Homo-oligomer: A and B are copies of this chain.
């Protein structure tokens, strides 16, 4: 049943079939920000999914971003559900329109509640999913701002068992939170780096990988710009989750 966004928590749409999965919108009350957490739940057509992957979108995008549609479709092919919410100051939570103004990304992140809100909101979102469908093996997939969110979340949320992270370093508006979270993360993870990243300097990415506390961590690096992760690497990242998320 649809809810009044910002005041209640629950589904806000009926199920709709997309390319390879069934999608449903929800809105949850954000403890930290007082506003709404808008999100999408995507589940394979057919039998109920027995595994779940949380998806973190990149900066200046939102829960509808194309590459997460692709990741959700690949996950659904493997029988895995996925869930994505708008990050701080992004998507339906935007506080202003992005232009090319310097520091607007930092402003959106900070005014949107930053790392503290991210941790609380993802806990709320996972609570919601588990309330609806029960507890399931759960992973994380998020690059760039999806790692700005995912690294602190995975370092604090014990229900997440495995992660795909990357395109981020000791850099950006929550750099110190990343540096604080990195040694505390213990789950197996794959970390993607773009060797010619023009947004996050390569060395900052390598430094963050070095700091990660997981004993099972693998860095995959390819030539190219920040947003030019090769398709084979994205597909392989989903296979990685599929093989190890049990």
What residues of chain A have their CB less than 8 Å away from a CB belonging to chain B? 193, 195, 206, 209-210, 215, 217-223, 233
Distance between A246 CB and nearest chain B CB, rounded to angstroms = 15
- B233 x A218 contact (CB < 8 A): yes
A219, closest chain B residue (CB)? B221
Distance between A19 CB and nearest chain B CB, rounded to angstroms = 25
- Checking B195, B215, B220, B223 against A223 with a beta-carbon cut-off of 8 angstroms, the contacting residue is B215
Most chain B CB inside 10 Å of its own CB: which residue of A209, A221, A222: A221
Beyond A195-B210, A206-B206, whether A219 also contacts B218 by CB under 8 A is: no
- A219 x B217 contact (CB < 8 A): no
A215, closest chain B residue (CB)? B223
**Which residues on B sit within 8 Å (CB–CB) of A222?**
217-219
A210, closest chain B residue (CB)? B195
- A218 x B220 contact (CB < 8 A): yes
Considering the complex of A and B, which 7 residue pairs feature the smallest CB-CB distances, nearest first? A219-B221, A218-B222, A220-B220, A218-B220, A217-B223, A215-B223, A218-B221
**Which residues on B sit within 8 Å (CB–CB) of A221?**
209, 218-219, 221
**Which residues on B sit within 8 Å (CB–CB) of A233?**
218
A221, closest chain B residue (CB)? B219
- The answer for the CA separation of A215 and B224 in the assembled complex, in Å, is 9
- The answer for the CA separation of A217 and B224 in the assembled complex, in Å, is 10
- The answer for the CA separation of A209 and B206 in the assembled complex, in Å, is 14
A193, closest chain B residue (CB)? B219
- The answer for the CA separation of A195 and B221 in the assembled complex, in Å, is 13
- The answer for the CA separation of A210 and B195 in the assembled complex, in Å, is 8
**Which residues on B sit within 8 Å (CB–CB) of A195?**
209-210, 219
